């Protein structure tokens, strides 16, 4: 018979007299505004968006904080779809989904710029210029993991919460991991889906993730050549290269660039929908690049790219950026390069030092180890290295599980995993 762990009592998820946190009706949920210092000890502030839904069945299980990834479901989506993304346990919690600083619904947008698509230095120049200008004006705020953790501590204090449970995906999982390591008393239980270890150098993690991306390219090409339904079934890698060659020769339309292929591939690995990627490549062979642009997300209005770049740049030092650029130049692709390559660290090298709060030195405080923490990852994840995630869980002495799933995130997408998370949150 499973052992039930008693959760902390439900506590008010908002203090009416605390000016830092306010709520108002907002469709299916309540929309909240959390006011936080730009930097620790600053008088200047910025706004962090949050979304709340009340528990609907008893007994009350406390407050559950949900933290999104860069792309995919937003914080508002997570609040509205909580019973789907974390299972039926969500009905017993007061759910607060937080959009970390810099995400599109929390302000200010990093460097005052929005860019949906880039993967080469020339395509990144407008973003770098905007960030340099903002740095000159003194308007660049830290947007990294450590700043997000401070914001969450402000939330717990402003909402008068004793402890919370947490579920984080991707970037949100990394923030949740650092939160638990630094402030273990704030978190009762947590589920982390594909986190990056905040206690390991960003350069080491970047290299591990570069290898994971490359392995995913080879695996997806192999999938195509072994599935008769794949339109590029015969020599898929060679035909992908033909598409890339056409783009480099200026034959593409619909605004497609080499970055389009790289972004489309990453989104394919995230979703697990390999078929859409290869059908779009088949259309590109026939000089119709619009489907490939659509798969890549190029031109999406609510792009997470600005938040991603500003966050990663906050997490790394100038020396980290230089090492990543050199590592990327020395890396040999199996088939073709996926992801952003050296573009992000090239932008980061130009960022203001006042923005940087490098990771790599986060250590577990007393009470952070051997606690109610569970870490998940897809066994074939091409975005975050599964081996690195496993090593992180082992170092932290947290429970770990690799899920057989041909996609990036698994909690809320794999049914068995989602039910297991639901039971874990309720202590079953």
Pair of tokens at residue 343 = 């573009």
Taking residues 210-232, report their average pLDDT: 93
CB 106 within 8 A of CB 47: yes
Q: What is the pLDDT of residues 345-385, one digit of tens each?
A: 988 887 878 889 999 999 999 999 878 999 999 999 999 99
CA triplet 194, 312, 371: central angle to 5 degrees? 40
121, 160, 309, 363, 379 from 349: Cα distances, Å? 12, 40, 12, 26, 33
Q: How far apart are CA 116 and CA 305, in angstroms?
A: 6
pLDDT of residue 407: 94
Burial class of residue 27 in the structure, from the number of CB atoms within 10 Å of its CB (0-12 exposed, 13-18 middle, 19+ buried)? exposed
pLDDT at 386: 97
* pLDDT of 10: 43
Tell me the DSSP string of 165-183: EEEEETHHHHHHHHHHHH-
Give the pLDDT mean for 189-209.
Answer: 96
Quote the CA–CA distance of 72 and 81 in Å, as a whole number.
Answer: 13
Residue range 339-349: average pLDDT? 85
Distance from C-alpha of 358 to C-alpha of 22, rounded to nearest angstrom: 31
The token duo for 208 is 């591990």
Q: What is the pLDDT of residues 109-130, one digit of tens each?
A: 666 666 666 767 777 777 777 7
Question: Taking a C-beta distance cutoff of 8 angstroms, is the pair 233, 279 a contact?
Answer: no
Q: Write phi, then psi, for 23 (nearest 5 degrees).
A: -130, 150
User: What is the rounded CA–CA span in Å between residue 320 and residue 324?
Assistant: 6
Q: Residue 82: which of 52, 49, 50, 48 has the closest Cα?
A: 52
Which stretches within 253-397 are classed as H helix?
A: 258-271, 274-285, 290-296, 305-315, 318-330, 343-348, 386-396
pLDDT of residue 240: 93
Do residues 275 and 236 lie in contact, with contact meaning Cβ atoms separated by under 8 Å?
no
Residue 1: the pLDDT is: 32
Predicted local confidence at residue 307, as pLDDT: 83
Non-local CB neighbours of 273 within 8 Å, separated by 6+ positions: none
CATH homologous superfamily for 21-108+141-201+361-425? Answer: Alpha/Beta hydrolase fold, catalytic domain (3.40.50.1820)
Average pLDDT score over residue span 134-153: 82
Q: 226-264: per-residue pLDDT in tens?
A: 999 999 998 899 999 999 999 999 999 999 988 899 889
- Percent of the residues in the chain that have a pLDDT greater than 90, as a whole number: 70
Indicate the DSSP class of residue 414.
Answer: B
Average pLDDT score over residue span 149-174: 97
pLDDT band at residue 4, thresholds of 50, 70 and 90? very low
Highest mean pLDDT (candidates 107-111, 144-148, 332-336): 144-148
Could you read off the pLDDT of 308-334 as tens digits, one per residue? 888 999 999 999 999 999 999 999 988
On average, the pLDDT of the chain sits at 89
- pLDDT value at residue 226: 92
Query: Residue range 128-155: average pLDDT?
Result: 81
Kindly write down the DSSP assignment for every residue of 335-362, as one continuous string: SS--TTTTHHHHHHTTS-GGG----S--
**DSSP code for 235:** S
Sign of the C-alpha dihedral computed for residues 107, 112, 116 and 117 taken in this order:
negative
Q: What is the pLDDT of residue 236?
A: 92
* pLDDT number for residue 17: 78
User: Between 323 and 307, where is the model more confident?
Assistant: 323
| pLDDT surpasses 50 at 3 | no
Q: What percent of the chain is modeled with pLDDT above 70?
A: 90
Residue of 233, 240, 239 whose CA lies nearest to 262 = 240
The pLDDT of residue 2 is: 34
The model's pTM is 0.93
Q: What is the pLDDT of residue 135?
A: 57
Which pLDDT belongs to residue 110?
Answer: 61
Q: What are the tens digits of pLDDT across the range 23-80? A: 999 999 999 999 999 988 888 899 999 999 999 998 889 999 999 999 889 999 999 9
- CA distance readout (Å), 35 to 47, 174, 214, 254, 276: 5, 22, 41, 41, 41
């Amino acid at each position: 018979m499973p052992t039930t762990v008693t959760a902390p009592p439900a506590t008010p998820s908002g203090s009416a007299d605390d000016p830092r946190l306010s709520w108002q009706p907002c469709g299916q949920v309540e929309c909240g505004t959390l006011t936080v210092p730009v930097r620790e000890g600053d008088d200047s502030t910025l706004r962090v968006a949050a979304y709340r839904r009340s528990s609907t069945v008893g007994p009350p299980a406390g407050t559950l904080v949900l933290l999104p990834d860069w792309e995919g479901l937003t914080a508002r989506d997570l609040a509205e779809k909580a019973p789907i993304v974390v299972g039926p346990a969500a009905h017993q919690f007061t759910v607060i989904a937080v959009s970390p600083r810099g995400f599109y619904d929390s302000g200010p947008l990093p460097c005052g710029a929005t860019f949906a698509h880039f993967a080469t230095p020339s395509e990144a120049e407008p973003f770098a210029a905007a960030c340099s200008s903002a740095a000159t004006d003194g308007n660049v705020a830290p947007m990294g993991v450590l700043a997000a953790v401070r914001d969450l501590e402000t939330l717990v204090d402003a909402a008068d919460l004793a402890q919370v449970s947490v579920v984080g995906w991707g970037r949100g999982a990394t923030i949740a991991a650092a939160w638990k390591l630094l402030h273990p008393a704030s978190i009762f239980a947590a589920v982390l889906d594909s986190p990056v270890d905040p206690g390991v150098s960003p350069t080491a993690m970047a290299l591990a993730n570069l290898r994971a991306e490359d392995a995913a390219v080879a695996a997806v090409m192999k999938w195509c050549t072994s599935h008769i339904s794949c339109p590029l079934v015969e020599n898929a890698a060679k035909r992908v290269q033909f598409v890339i060659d056409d783009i480099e020769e200026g034959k593409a339309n619909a605004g497609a660039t080499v970055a389009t292929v790289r972004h489309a591939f990453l989104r394919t690995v995230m979703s697990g929908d390999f078929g859409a990627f290869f059908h779009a490549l088949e259309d590109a062979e026939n000089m119709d690049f619009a489907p490939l642009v659509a798969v890549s997300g190029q031109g999406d209005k609510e792009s997470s790219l600005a938040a991603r770049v500003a966050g990663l740049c906050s997490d790394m030092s100038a020396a980290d950026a230089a090492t990543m650029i050199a590592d990327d130049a020395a890396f040999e692709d199996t088939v073709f390069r996926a992801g952003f390559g050296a573009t992000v660290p090239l932008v980061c090298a130009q960022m203001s030092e006042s923005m940087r709060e490098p990771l790599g030195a986060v250590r577990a405080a007393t009470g952070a180890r051997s606690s109610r923490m569970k870490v998940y990852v897809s066994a074939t994840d091409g975005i975050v290295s599964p081996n690195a995630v496993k090593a992180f869980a082992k170092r932290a002495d947290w429970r770990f599980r690799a899920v057989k799933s041909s996609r990036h995130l698994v909690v809320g997408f794999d049914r068995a995993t989602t039910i297991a998370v639901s039971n874990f949150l309720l202590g079953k």
